[in-house]
Structure 1
Amino acid sequence: MPAKLERSAKALSWLSTLSLWLAGAGLVVMTAIVAWQVFCRYVLNDSPSWTEPGAVMLMSWFIFLGAAVGVRENYHMGFDVLLYVMPKGGKAWLRMISDIVAFAFGIGMVWYGSQLVMLTWNTTLPSLRISGGWDYVPLVAGGTLICLFSLERMVLRLAGQPIDDILDELPPAEVAAELDTAKVKA
């Protein structure tokens, strides 16, 4: 792998890991906020107004960060059914099309998300006392990461890197399920 590709792959790997950790931390914090809200509502009979919008905003962050990591790790939607019957060369083209679609979707997230941020930036979320634009920043951040990660996959594939080889060795999901069931019965 050329040095520039290797450096960018390491940087994007670090960014992906950071995104995954932030998403996980967001999930834990959101769970704690919801638990606090339930405790306050049913035990103290006084629910804080910031808990629900705060939890929803954290949920937006971990969903979009997790989705971006899913694109990098090839867990996004693709042409899986066709991949089982295609020759290896055709599989590469279908995976490239899938990455192009993910990239286009990421661009749409950034474009329309940015418009929503700009439209709502001068409003205030009363319960959190922050700009309403922060509701849509996770959409832009997730879209940016989806673009980066899908572009990385396309560049690596075009550079001849074997990013799909391990996927071609995996059995179809139905066969894998039958193999797993056979191991359980044995």
Structure 2
Amino acid sequence: MREFITSAARATSALATLSLWLAGIGLCAMTAAIAAQVFWRYVLNNSLIWTEPGSVMIMGWFIFLGAAVGIREGYHLSFDVLLYILPEKAKPWLHSLSDIAVGGFGAGMVWYGWELAEKVAGNKMASLGISDAFNFAPVVVGGGLIVIFSLERILRRAAGLHTARFGDPEPVEEF
């Protein structure tokens, strides 16, 4: 079981690294698109019609990819007051409960994001010429990653392995 979880952790580590790189590239691409829009509008006295909806779509990607990586690494918001008063043996249970709740939220993102995408799939964005469903793709993919990363955290804890932090080459034993 531990070997399987260790192998899966290596795969999810690579997936998290890829997601973080894509989020960073998206942030740079959005910044370049907005800079191009400013240049075209104020220097060339013209306007690029695709930059605003394209930038919003790219922003969705880097937000949801980055949020999923934050979930994997334990940087998400939490209410830690109970952790200060509970005995050490109860803390992993509380962390697992939190991961289950976060994973459920990710599953809701997948479910409802997909429903929203289906409802608007027939509409086209005039400025980009693509389906409005593409606006909800980051919600679905980000939710799927949140489910995967939450499950990884639960399985690592159940196997007695340290939960992931970015840059950890391999899972390490709890100490």
TM-score computed with the length of structure 2 as normaliser = 0.90
Q: Which residue of 1 aligns with 2:60?
A: 60
Q: Is 1:3 aligned to 2:17, yes or no? A: no
Structure in which a larger fraction of residues adopt helix: 1
CA distance in 2, matches of 1:24, 1:84: 35
Contact in 2 for aligned 1:68/1:149 (Cα 8 Å): yes
| Greater RCO structure (CA 8 Å; 6+ sep) | 2
Q: Which residue of 2 aligns with 1:100?
A: 100
Aligned to 1:130, the other structure's residue is in SS state coil
1:146 maps to a residue whose letter is I
CA distance in 1, matches of 2:112, 2:163: 31
Number of equivalenced pairs: 167
Q: How far 1:162 moved relative to its partner?
A: 3.1
Q: Which residue of 1 aligns with 2:167?
A: none
- Post-superposition Cα deviations, 1:97-136, rounded to whole Å, max 9, x if no partner, equal 1101100100100000000111111111110111110000
Q: How does 1:31-110 map to 2 (within 5 A)?
A: 31-110=31-110
- Post-superposition Cα deviations, 1:132-177, rounded to whole Å, max 9, x if no partner, equal 100000000000000000000011111122339x9x99xxxxxxxx
Q: How far 1:44 moved relative to its partner?
A: 1.2
Q: Which residue of 2 aligns with 1:17?
A: 17
Q: How far 1:85 moved relative to its partner?
A: 2.7
2:67 maps to a residue whose letter is A
Q: Which residue of 2 aligns with 1:141?
A: 141
Contact in 2 for aligned 1:79/1:94 (Cα 8 Å): no
CA distance in 1, matches of 2:114, 2:4: 30
CA distance in 2, matches of 1:11, 1:47: 43
1:90 maps to a residue whose letter is A
CA RMSD of aligned residues (A): 1.8
Q: How far 1:82 moved relative to its partner?
A: 2.4
TM-score computed with the length of structure 1 as normaliser = 0.85
1:16 maps to a residue whose letter is A
Q: How far 1:84 moved relative to its partner?
A: 2.5
Q: Which residue of 1 aligns with 2:168?
A: none
Contact in 1 for aligned 2:16/2:69 (Cα 8 Å): yes
Q: Spell out structure 1 runs of 4+ moving beyond 3 A.
A: none
1:31 maps to a residue whose letter is T
CA distance in 2, matches of 1:111, 1:23: 22
Moved more, 54-63 or 44-53: 44-53
Contact in 2 for aligned 1:78/1:95 (Cα 8 Å): no
2:93 maps to a residue whose letter is W
The answer for unaligned runs of 5 or more in structure 1 is 170-186
CA distance in 2, matches of 1:32, 1:82: 44
